[in-house]
A and B are shown apart, each in its own frame.
Chain A
């Protein structure tokens, strides 16, 4: 099974540790995980796991967008914490047409609701939403819940 983990802008501190965490969890669930990220987000992940204990495939987000097609992945997971991240997630969802999960988080609850609505209005993806920014724990709790359903 193959999973695509979609990263957004790396401004949010929680994204990189959650990427490593999600890779570990997904690998143990039997997925070959590919991370798609922009250059800055990629560097943060590479520096966080220099020996590649947790990460395997790391690809450029925009190149991946230009190449992916239906059937390439069995699971799409996206971190949605910006308007652009919601747009990217929805676009990958429509291209891949696969089982999809959006992890929506932001420090502002109004924005959490706005991004959740953006994804909900245009996909059938499973969405977990939580108010969080520096502290990864609330997001980790939601991620654990949604990944538990994949077991």
Chain B
């Protein structure tokens, strides 16, 4: 079964929130600051089972050593958060394939 971010965040506590209730551009800056590797994607591109919401180019951070990704996560009433969560190498490679830059 493929990974689904929404389900993961509801059913696991193995993730870290680096910013919450923030603006998208602030969250994009945090991802660029915190992650070693940045992949830029288009709005609506699917990452970890969800279409990513945001202003292009949308940064997705990858930390190869920790095996984690940083992703912006937007809700209508709660703004944008930056979530860092563990993913396997296959998911990382899928994200890299979406790179627009």
Number of A positions contacting B (CB below 8 A)? 26
Given that A91-B44, A95-B43 are known contacts, is A84 also in contact with B79, CB under 8 Å in the complex?
yes
Query: Given the interface contacts A65-B51, A118-B55, does A83 sit within 8 Å of B79 by beta carbon?
Result: yes
Of the listed stretches B12-20, B70-78, B83-91, chain A binds B70-78
Residues of B in contact (CB 8 Å), total 20
Contacts of A1-34 to chain B: CB distance below 8 A: 8-11
Supposing A66-B50, A83-B24 touch, asked if A94 and B44 sit within 8 A by C-beta, the answer is yes
Q: Are A87 and B24 in contact (CB under 8 A)?
A: yes
Contact B78 A84 (CB under 8 A): yes
Partner of A84 from B43, B44, B50, B80 at Cβ < 8 Å: B80
Contact in complex: B80, A83 (CB < 8 Å): yes
Within 8 A of B (CB), among A84-101: 84-88, 90-95
Who on chain B is nearest to A121 by CB? B55
A84 and B74 in contact, given A90-B43, A95-B43 (Cβ under 8 angstroms): yes
> Are B24 and A38 in touch, CB under 8 angstroms?
no
A147 within 8 A of B: no
Does A61 make an interface contact (CB < 8 A)?
yes
Chain B residues within an 8 Å CB radius of A118 = 24-25, 55
B59 CB, nearest partner CB in chain A, Å: 13
Q: Count A/B pairs, Cβ under 8 Å.
A: 71
A99 to B11 Cα, complex, angstroms: 39
A109 at the B interface (CB under 8 A): no
Residues of B with C-beta under 8 A to A87: 24, 43, 53-55, 74, 80
Q: Which residues of B, 30-80, contact A by the 8 Å Cβ criterion?
A: 42-44, 50-56, 74-80
For the residues of A in contact with B, the DSSP-based class is helix
Alpha-carbon distance between A9 and B75 when the two chains are bound, in angstroms: 9
Chain A residue at minimum C-beta to C-beta distance from B42: A94
Q: Are B54 and A90 in contact (CB under 8 A)?
A: yes
Given A83-B24, A91-B44, A91-B51, do A40 and B56 touch, yes or no (CB 8 Å)?
no
A84 vs B79: C-alpha distance when bound (angstroms)? 5
Q: Mark interface residues in A36-51 (1 if CB within 8 Å of B CB, else 0).
A: 0010110000000000
B residues touching A (Cβ–Cβ < 8 Å)?
23-25, 42-44, 50-56, 74-80
The 5 closest A-B pairs by CB, nearest first: A91-B43, A9-B77, A95-B44, A83-B23, A94-B43
